[in-house]
Chains A and B, each alone.
Chain A
Amino acid sequence: MSIFEYNGSALIAMVGKNCFAIASDRRLGVQLQTIATDFQKIYKVHDKLFLGLSGLATDAQTLYQRLVFRHKLYQLREERDMKPETFANLVSSILYEKRFGPYFCQPVIAGLGDEDKPFICTMDSIGAKELAKDFVVAGTASESLYGACESMFKPDMEPEELFETISQALLSSVDRDCLSGWGGHVYVVTSTEIRERILKGRMD
């Protein structure tokens, strides 16, 4: 059993037209037993920057707490929010610092950068950044997620269409994975609002 399969997770981030969407499943399990169906995997760092953490849940929470700490220090010193590219670099360095004893997490970062240009990025557990222009995926369901996103994604989608696409990709992929699912949690962020939606999915 891989350490990533201990808790189970599924995460996607997709880029749309001047907006982005980030979605996760809601299950928290201990190997094959489900212990929570409302577990939060996507965290808001600031209004225009979201972080999703897949993998071992304890490491995800610890890593999130360290990152929020560093971001708050940054806000105090610089008197502004961190740009998504800078935040991605910060996450990458914190993960690489633990190169020989890593956090068992795969982060997915999504944000609106300068002039509200959407930015998404994912990393492996030691901080190798992958910047994509279309979508990024992470979690135990990642192989199905790659397939679903590859076929369903279109460039320049409006927020409503982006929501539909990311939800369908997430739900169809987690249906093929035992360790993730039990609904979905989707955030669609534009420059004027954040829409948080909870999806109804198969509860098995």
Chain B
Amino acid sequence: MSKATIDLPPKGGFSFDLCRRNDMLSKKGARPPSYRKTGTTIVGIIFQDGVILGADTRATEGPIVCDKNCEKIHYMAPNIYCCGAGTAADTEAVTDMVSSQLQLHRYDTGRESRVVTALTFLKRHLFNYQGHVQAALVLGGVDFTGPHLHTIYPHGSTDTLPFATMGSGSLAAMSVFESKYREGLTKDEGINLVSEAICAGIFNDLGSGSNVDICVITKGHKEYLRNHLLPNANVYALKREYTFPKKTEVLLTKITPLREKVEIIEGGDAMEE
């Protein structure tokens, strides 16, 4: 029987079968592509009642902004959220995967997920791939042991902190936290501090930009403020729109009408015997 190369749905995990071909192509001078990065400023703080996470919304592909309003605060569990910086595909895939693992774990244990559980799943996965999965994460949540905030680096090391920043804009944001953070902030003070830190990243770091997203997690409650601040609204757009009086030249037009849905008529003729 010849080797069957049926493309069955894969069992999961990475597949390395194109690596040899891609290596051969790069030796011939074809540069591999650059992946979409999230440039980014992501931050988190612990305040009086829980955790506040913040992120900017710019996604870059090399020097070009490919998404002006992407979402960097990912859902992990009803009480846990995670911000991601680094290669966009990696942060999305890793947070999605661990979110599903946490759901299965919740079914197994019958309890609310703990932040350290999410932390361990993430760090084990990232360490396993020795930093090749380039995801730098800020993980925050509130479980029955209290509020927790962690940072996870691409190689798998983690830190537990009262305030944290990651991404290319982390230095700009950290300068705001180091001067203005104190313990026992109220919710509004916390949101303002996080917004200020993200704005510092947006305006001073080239890899971060657009709007500010905030997520406030407290015991038993979460508030996801998508586009909480829009400091870069497009107010300079032309009021006069582009119109094209001279039509584009068309060589060929093919119209395919889509099938109408079948109408069911009640009380039609009974079938003949």
Contact = CB atoms under 8 A, between A and B. Distances in A.
Q: What are the 7 tightest A-B residue pairs by CB atom distance, in nearest-first order?
A: A101-B19, A128-B88, A128-B89, A101-B18, A200-B249, A167-B248, A3-B30
Interface string B4-37: 0001011001111111111001000111110110
B7 A66 contact: yes
Nearest to B254: A196
Contacts, number: 141
Contacts of B21: 101
Scoring B15, B21, B248 by chain A CB atoms within 10 A of each residue's CB, the highest score goes to B248
A127 interface: yes
B251 A200 contact: yes
Given A103-B18, A130-B66, A143-B64, A197 B89 contact: no
A2 B244 contact: no
A154 B253 contact: no
Nearest to A103: B18
A47 B19 contact: no
Contacts of A2: 30-31, 33
A151 interface: yes
Interface residues of A, number: 55
Contacts of B32: 3
Given A98-B17, A99-B90, 20 more contacts: A1-B29, A3-B25, A69-B7, A98-B15, A99-B89, A101-B18, A101-B19, A124-B35, A126-B35, A127-B89, A128-B36, A128-B87, A143-B64, A146-B66, A193-B256, A194-B255, A195-B255, A196-B254, A196-B256, A197-B254
Contact of A4 (B14, B33, B249): B33
Interface string B241-263: 11010011111111111110000
Interface of B: 7, 9-10, 13-22, 25, 29-33, 35-36, 59, 61, 64, 66-67, 70, 87-90, 92-93, 132-133, 238, 241-242, 244, 247-259
B255 A154 contact: no
Given A96-B93, A98-B18, A164 B244 contact: yes
Given A69-B7, A152-B242, A165-B244, A102 B22 contact: yes
B253 A102 contact: no
A75 interface: no
B23 to A, nearest CB: 8
A138 to B, nearest CB: 10
Interface in A63-110: 66, 69-70, 73, 92, 95-104
A3 B133 contact: no
A162 to B, nearest CB: 12
Contacts of A168: 242, 244, 248
A101 B66 contact: no
Contact of A194 (B18, B248, B258): B258
A199 interface: yes
B132 A100 contact: yes
A196 B257 CA distance: 11
Contacts of B25: 3
22 contacts: A3-B32, A6-B30, A48-B258, A73-B9, A92-B92, A97-B14, A98-B14, A99-B14, A99-B89, A104-B22, A124-B61, A125-B33, A126-B90, A127-B92, A128-B36, A128-B59, A191-B258, A193-B257, A194-B256, A196-B256, A199-B248, A199-B249
B236 to A, nearest CB: 12
A195 B64 contact: no
Contacts of A152: 242
A129 interface: yes
Contacts of A73: 9
